[in-house]
Amino acid sequence: MLSGALDATRRDDWQHACSRRGVLTALVSSVLGLTLLPAWRAGAAEAPVALPDKVQQFARLLADRQAWTALGQALRKRTDAVSDGEWHSIQVYLRQLYQDAAVLDAMAAARPASEGPLRALASEFRQRVRQLDGPAKQRDKEAFLQGHARTVEVLGRFLERWQASSDVPAEL
């Protein structure tokens, strides 16, 4: 009889603790919901800030440079053969990169003092990208990687010269 009374007391204490725990959990959830939800909704309602066209183009160029460099590194590390589908994807990417290289001319025109050398580097970059279509068609990994290294070097020289011709301090 005493054992049954103890079991009932324990059960009642457990139910009471659960209800306290449940109330406390609901209270904390409500408070957090009421404080965080308006901030979350406000952030979700804001439209993303659009960057000026020239800044977007420059950001795209930097992203292209990073992706182009990563492509070369990935090909260099590969020990297995590159599939036909991958070579086709590389050719599609080369065409996109060639089109995106038009930004280089716009960037060169923005720096009249060094426009000539910058345009020459932009032209050389596009020419080298166009020439890489041959090794990609022939599935020649070594020739492609050699041409890739030259394009990375030309793009690096372009960006260095472009930044050097800027009137904005390098610290910014």
Res 172: pLDDT: 56
- Quick one: pLDDT band at residue 125, thresholds 50, 70, 90? very high
Res 57: pLDDT: 82
- Residue 127 confidence (pLDDT) above 90: yes
Q: Is 139 left (phi over 0), alpha (psi -120 to 50) or beta?
A: left
The model's pLDDT over 86-98, given as tens digits with 9 standing for 90+, comes to 999 999 999 999 9
Per DSSP, the chain holds a count of helices (H) and strands (E) of 7, 0
Res 69: pLDDT: 93
- Residue 4 confidence (pLDDT) above 80: no
